[in-house]
């Protein structure tokens, strides 16, 4: 009894235990409930009888639960939920590592490559992750591979061998051993159980296309060896999906992207080749998801694709907490009520965002689209996949040929080409492994890049939640419409009350400017 009292005296434990006892789905993915009396771990909303506090340990990651000897609950499927918003709201080493692990860095470069990218030794990185997240980088990557594999087993007709390599395992033996260790069952049994659940649901097989599940089929317009997947990616409610898709569609580049509030599609480059992704919002207000049809040159790119789409649409944001905080300001309350669950658009190609920002600063959205389309037509790599004809140009292509294509003031062209050269040479690194402070510092050190551009890039690439672009004309116009200060310094001062969610407040100001 003393042990339980001691645990409940910890305010973090007590808060999580209350959320678990209430089966509050808002906390799914934010932490994991380990139940040592049964040897399983669950999502907070698991319908099972609430365990006693003394039998419970809360973990931030599935990998930590695996390291503690627990297996995933077969009833609530704790890995089929939105991801933790912590990896965006935090900007420390652990969060940066988690962002890179989700993008497949360990599968491509190993733990030494991950550590080098983060600027630490593998030993130090392992100590930090084990201390803060309960598992080292290999265990975290293994858990991520297992979750991807379960998704494929549960919802596709890929062979067991194809699932193993698509999830990032190096051999079928390694795959089988990992799945047995984590789920205490075989890949075949996971697939059979998923089919049984699907058949038992009202509506039959169609109803089985559930959160996190996928459907695999041969695409009629895919290249030889390519595969087309249909996924449902769960979003954390509330989710204003139409707004984020509309934002992306309004800025779409001909040949690379198309879309609007009803859907968005684009071509992109992944580690093993080009891909095309088509996105649409589905589900209900309390259980939203995004329909994601993806055509991949190599199924091994599935995990990086899912991670990048989730970041693009900000699916893991703690929308309820953000809305509660922003609606406390009477100036934003009506906007939050009218558009709950606003998201900050992210990126599927970090370097692309740099050139979008550099080319789009101080000009209108239509003018930026025209300039970006011209650049892509001239320098983008040609493809013929899913109806798309171009990939966005690489930094190396822009560095070499940008002056032949770009129009505008000479200083701006110099900035764009010089930045492209810095990226192409490796002098400037733009990806999710950066911290906000480091990224903005490196950007503003380059001639011609100011705080707006650096802040916009950090917001889109890193998902930084607390950036208010007070020099942005549309944001200042939106602020004026809401009766807020429209001068940059005054707006920055007023906006400090929105911390740590100033990026989301900015999306509401943008919305107001378009009203």
CA distance 126 to 293: 36
How many helices (H) and strands (E) are present in the chain, helices listed first?
24, 12
Compute how many other C-beta atoms are within 10 angstroms of the C-beta atom of residue 300: 21
C-alpha 393/C-alpha 382 separation (Å) is 10
φ, ψ of residue 127 to 5 degrees: the values are -60, -45
Residue 317 CA to residue 5 CA, distance in Å, equals: 32
Buried b (16+ CB within 10 A) or exposed e, 366-386: eebbbbbbbbbbbbbeebebb
Alpha carbons 408 and 372: distance in angstroms, whole number: 13
Three-state DSSP at 92 gives coil
Q: CB-hemisphere CA count at 13 Å for 172?
A: 8
Q: Which of 293, 314, 349, 472 is catalytic?
A: 472
Structural element, H or E, at residue 382: strand 382-385
Q: How far apart are CA 170 and CA 161, in angstroms?
A: 11
- CA dihedral of residues 126, 127, 130, 131 (deg, nearest 10): -160
Paired tokens of 251? 């800025």
Taking CA 241 as the corner, what is the angle to CA 271 and CA 80, rounded to the nearest 5 degrees? 60
Q: Could you say which of 28, 42, 76, 349 is catalytic?
A: 42
Residue 440 CA to residue 275 CA, distance in Å, equals 30
How far apart are alpha carbons 253 and 360 in whole angstroms?
Answer: 12
Contacts 24+ apart (CB under 8 A), 194-201: 194/153, 194/154, 194/155
Nearest of 29, 298, 74 to residue 179 by alpha carbon: 74
**Calpha distance 1→415 (Å, rounded):** 66
Catalytic (active site) residue 349: no
Instruction: Check: CB of residue 307 under 8 Å from CB of residue 87.
Output: no
SS3 of 138-169: HHHHHHHHHHHHHHHHHHCCCCHHHHHHHCCC
3-state secondary structure of 244: helix
Cβ proximity of 507 and 470 under 8 Å: no
Could you tell me which residues are beta bridge partners of residue 216? Answer: 229
Query: Among this protein's residues, is 73 annotated catalytic?
Result: no
Hey, which residues are catalytic here? Answer: 42, 472
């Amino acid at each position: 009894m003393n042990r339980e009292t001691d645990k409940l005296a910890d305010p973090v434990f007590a808060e999580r235990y209350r959320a678990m006892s209430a089966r509050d789905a808002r906390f799914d993915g934010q932490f994991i409930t380990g139940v040592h009396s049964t040897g399983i771990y669950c999502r907070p909303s698991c319908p099972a009888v609430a365990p006693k506090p003394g039998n419970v340990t809360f973990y931030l990651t599935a990998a930590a639960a695996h390291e503690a000897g627990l297996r995933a609950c077969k009833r609530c499927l704790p890995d089929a939920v939105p991801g933790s918003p912590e990896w965006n709201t935090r900007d420390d080493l652990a969060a940066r590592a988690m962002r890179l692990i989700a993008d497949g860095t360990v599968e491509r470069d190993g733990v030494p490559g991950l550590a080098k990218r983060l600027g630490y030794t593998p030993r130090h990185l392992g100590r930090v992750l084990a201390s803060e997240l309960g598992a080292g980088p290999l265990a975290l990557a293994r858990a991520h591979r297992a979750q991807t594999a379960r998704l494929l087993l549960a919802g596709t007709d890929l062979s067991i061998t194809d699932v193993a390599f698509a999830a990032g395992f190096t051999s079928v033996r390694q795959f089988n051993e990992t799945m047995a260790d984590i789920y205490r069952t075989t890949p075949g049994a996971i697939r059979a159980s998923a089919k049984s659940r699907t058949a038992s649901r009202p509506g039959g097989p169609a109803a089985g296309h559930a959160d996190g599940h996928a459907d695999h089929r041969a695409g009629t317009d895919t290249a030889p060896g390519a595969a087309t997947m249909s996924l449902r990616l769960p979003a954390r409610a509330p989710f204003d999906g139409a707004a984020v898709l509309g934002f992306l569609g309004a800025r779409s580049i001909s040949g690379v992207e198309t879309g609007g509030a009803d859907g968005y599609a684009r071509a992109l480059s992944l580690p093993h080749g080009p891909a095309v992704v088509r996105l649409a919002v589905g589900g209900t207000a309390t259980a939203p998801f995004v329909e994601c049809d993806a055509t991949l040159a190599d199924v091994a790119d599935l995990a990086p694709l899912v991670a990048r789409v989730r970041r693009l649409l900000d699916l893991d944001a703690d929308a309820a907490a953000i809305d509660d905080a922003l609606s406390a300001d009477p100036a934003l309350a009506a906007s939050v009520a009218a558009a709950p669950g606003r998201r900050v658009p992210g990126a599927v190609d970090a370097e692309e965002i740099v050139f979008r920002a550099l080319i789009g600063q101080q000009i209108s959205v239509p003018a930026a689209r025209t300039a970006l389309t011209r650049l892509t037509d001239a320098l983008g790599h040609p493809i013929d996949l899913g109806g798309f004809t171009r990939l966005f140009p690489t930094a190396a292509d822009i560095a070499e040929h940008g002056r032949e294509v770009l129009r505008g003031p000479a200083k701006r062209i110099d900035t764009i080409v010089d930045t492209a050269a810095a990226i192409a040479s490796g002098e400037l690194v733009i990806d999710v492994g950066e911290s906000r402070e480091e990224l903005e510092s490196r950007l503003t050190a380059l001639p011609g890049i100011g705080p707006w551009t650096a802040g916009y890039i950090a917001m889109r690439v890193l998902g930084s939640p607390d950036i208010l672009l007070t020099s942005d004309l549309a944001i200042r116009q939106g602020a004026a419409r809401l009766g807020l200060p429209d001068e940059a310094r005054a707006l920055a001062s007023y906006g400090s009350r929105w911390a740590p969610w100033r990026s989301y407040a900015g999306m509401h100001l943008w919305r107001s400017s378009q009203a």
